[in-house]
Chain A
Amino acid sequence: MSPSFKRKIGFFAKSTKDVFSFFFSLAKKSRRTKIFFILSFLPVFMAFVVKFSQIFQLSRDIEGIYIFNNMIIAFYLQFLILILALFYGSSVTSEELEGKTLTYLTTRPVSKSAIIVGKYLAYTALIIFMVTLGVVFSFLVLNLSELRSVSLYKILFRDVAVLALGLMCYTAFFTFVGTILKKSIMFGLIFSFGWENVIQYFPGSTQKFTIVHYLKSLLPSVSRGRFSFLLFRLEPSSTGTSIFMLFLIAAVFIVLACVLFTYKEYILKD
């Protein structure tokens, strides 16, 4: 590796870090983040309700880990991470254009790629933190009586990792969508709740054109029955392939977003 290339990489990393800390501290204070925090904590509230009702024998005695795996995770996987990734991913570019603040960033000695990558990492870290906190609390509440079982923590770790991978991947995709489309939300909703939900029904290789396929491949197959309304037919890919694909998808879309953002001209309307 030549010294000038090393220097460039070092500069890029430093710029990315600076952009990251700028937007991480900005986003964590915003009112919107607080609302999304509440939204991601609603499963914790649900877990409390379930636990209390079980203690007072108001509901059937379903294992905590069963509810956690089949409902809480399904809720996060098929709804919440999509909503969070869509909002924050599309915000990477769109909020700068809508707020006409892009000028403040593009007249600093940081590359446009560093702006995209730094902001993407800041938002992804924030929503991963948000989701992880909700998932961990739900897990603890639902499995209150079995907290000494190590195997349960393996499940928790796996689920958190899958959700984090999902957020990483979807946010990258929506970051790209935000840089290419002015009105990215409608496209994002159609993609998230149309494409992702419909295509995964399709047999064979078709479902591999969705991100959710690789995420679900990392989770154990769910027995058909009471909770099948939340999970759909799956012909899983291997764990290695899934993880590789998720990283690949995230990397490809972030690179595309960087290239586009660098060469596309954004005109802030008065």
Chain B
Amino acid sequence: MTAIIQTQNLSKWYGNVLGLSDVTLEIEQGITGILGPNGAGKSTFLKLITGQIKSNIGSVTIMGQPVWNNYPQFSEIGFCPEQDSFYGEMTGWQFLTSLLRLYHLSSTEIEKKADKALEIVELSEDKNRAVRSYSRGMRQRLKVAQSIAHDPKIIILDEPLNGLDPLGRRKIIRLIKEYKGEGRTIVVSSHVLPEIEAMTNQIILIHQGKIFAQGDIHYIRDLIETHPHIISIRCSDPRQLAQKFIHHDFVLKVNFGLKKGVLLVETNSRDKFFGLLPSLFVENQIEVEEITSPDDNLQAVFDYLIGK
């Protein structure tokens, strides 16, 4: 698959504060989650790839074109900024239609697109209220609406789920997934792991302005060879299986889970472990019900990467 967004040695600092350091990556079609704690550099990265700020070193291209001051590109890009700011004296409807006007569309098109966007974020009923009277969640949905209203191919969302109630979050997550299905590129940032996890497997981990890892959650997991993995196996005879495992040096620990028939194995080599597993089952005639990796989630990877 070809990269939609490419950065090369991207670095940005504010005075003597480092915002982003030497970031080289490629973002492909689909959903990519930018994950990192507050102040990690997520917003700096998104501002750089949307041409809001200039990099000190390095370059950004979107669909092969540089992004800084390349305004025609924004016909295909939608950006939802992090800051909760609006032209307060406008109504939701005016806000959307005014911004859509900047895409040089006809009045009918503007109205149609604004209506559709408001409907998607479920603000149609409140569209004639002043934005300053909106709740935080409504304002957040309006921000998302302005980023999708013009039907862009690339959608960049900076903390889009901030301030939304659980129902609102679910709806936005569903919307993002729907957009993925339509073949768009979506870059979404968050500091909340389950939010990203609910949207995508493709992640970029950022911390202290540096990219710690990029790729599929499993791929990232494999990168961390020294980090032990825990694998849970539910089978007919966990104790017999445990006996077989302890002879291998890539198995660090075996444990019996609280649930009956569950064996927890800690290994420092997933490949070797999974290579061995089928033969053990067959040779010892052990019936397998389920194999899972309880710490194969972002939190575990993230905690490990940032050294917690």
State if A and B touch, Cβ cutoff 8 Å. yes
- CB-CB contacts below 8 Å: A87-110 with B: 99-101, 103-110
Interface string of B36-51 (1 = CB under 8 A from A): 0000000000000011
Tell me the interface secondary structure of chain B in the complex: loop
Given A104-B99, A107-B74, A109-B75: A99 touches B87 (CB 8 Å cut-off): yes
Query: Are A22 and B53 touching (Cβ within 8 A)?
Result: no
Interface pair B73/A100, CB less than 8 Å apart? no
A109 touches B53 (CB 8 A): no
Contacts of A100 in B (CB 8 A): 81, 83, 85
Contact with A18, one of B52, B54, B78, B104 (Cβ below 8 angstroms): B104
Contact of A101 with B71 in the complex, beta carbons under 8 Å: no
Closest residue on chain A to residue B74 by CB atoms:
A109
Count A-B contacts at CB 8 Å: 74
A-chain residues with CB within 8 Å of residue B83 when the two chains form the complex? 100, 103, 268, 270
Closest residue of A by beta carbon distance from B152: A107
CB distance from A104 to the nearest CB of B (A): 6
Size bin of chain A's contact surface: 20 to 34
Q: Contact check, B71 vs A267: say whether CB atoms are below 8 A apart.
A: no
- Complex CA gap A267/B48 in Å reads 11
Residue of B nearest to A268 (CB): B83
Q: A206 to B81, alpha carbons, bound, how many Å?
A: 49
Q: How far is the CA of A99 from the CA of B83 in the complex (A)?
A: 10
Q: Which residues of B lie under 8 Å from residue A106 when comparing CB positions?
A: 51-52
- The answer to whether the Cβ of A21 comes within 8 Å of any Cβ in the partner chain is yes
A19 within 8 A of B: yes
Question: A54 on the interface (CB 8 Å rule)?
Answer: no
Residues of A within 8 A of B86 (CB): 99, 101
Interface of A is mostly: helix
A101 touches B85 (CB 8 A): yes
Residue contact A108 to B14, C-beta cutoff 8 Å: no
Whole-angstrom CA separation of A243 from B146 in the bound complex: 43
A129 and B87 CA atoms in complex are apart in Å by 23
**What's the interface size class on B, roughly?**
20 to 34
**Complex Cα gap A99–B84 (Å):** 10
Which one, A30, A99, A104, A267, contacts B146 given CB within 8 A? Answer: A104
Known: A99-B85, A108-B74, A270-B83. A26 touches B98 (CB 8 A): yes
Interface check B101, CB cutoff 8 A: yes
What sequence of 0s and 1s flags, for each residue 84-96 of chain B, a beta carbon within 8 Å of any chain A beta carbon? 0111111000100
| Residues in A neighbouring B72, C-beta threshold 8 A | 109
- The answer to whether B104 and A109 have CB atoms under 8 Å apart is yes
A262–B70 alpha-carbon span in the complex (Å):
11
Among candidates A14, A22, A99, A112, residue contacting B104 with C-beta atoms closer than 8 Å? A14
A63 within 8 A of B: no
A111 contact set on B, CB distance < 8 A: 71
Residues of B within 8 A of A267 (CB): 14, 53
- Evaluate whether A108 and B87 lie within 8 angstroms (CB atoms) in the complex, with A103-B79, A262-B69 already known: no
Which residues from B are CB-within-8-Å of A110?
A: 71, 102
A29 within 8 A of B: yes
Q: Does A15 contact B (CB under 8 A)?
A: yes
Q: Provide the residues of chain A in CB contact with B199, threshold 8 Å.
A: none
Chain B residues positioned under 8 Å from A14 (CB to CB) = 104
Residues of A within 8 A of B219 (CB): none
Neighbour of A29 across the interface among B74, B89, B101, CB < 8 A: B89
Interchain CA distance A267-B86 in the complex, whole Å: 17
Report the bound CA distance from A100 to B88 in whole Å. 12
**Cα-based distance from A99 to B88 in the complex (angstroms):** 9
Q: Is the CB of A112 within 8 A of B79?
A: no
- Using CB atoms and an 8 Å cutoff, list the residues of chain B in contact with chain A: 14, 50-54, 69, 71-75, 77-79, 81, 83, 85-90, 94, 98-99, 101-104, 146
A-B contacts, 20 of them at CB < 8 A, read A14-B104, A15-B102, A18-B104, A22-B101, A22-B102, A26-B87, A30-B89, A99-B85, A99-B87, A101-B86, A101-B87, A103-B52, A104-B99, A107-B77, A108-B74, A108-B103, A109-B73, A110-B71, A111-B71, A265-B54
Pairs A-B, 9 closest by C-beta atoms? A100-B85, A108-B102, A107-B79, A103-B81, A109-B75, A109-B74, A100-B83, A22-B98, A265-B54
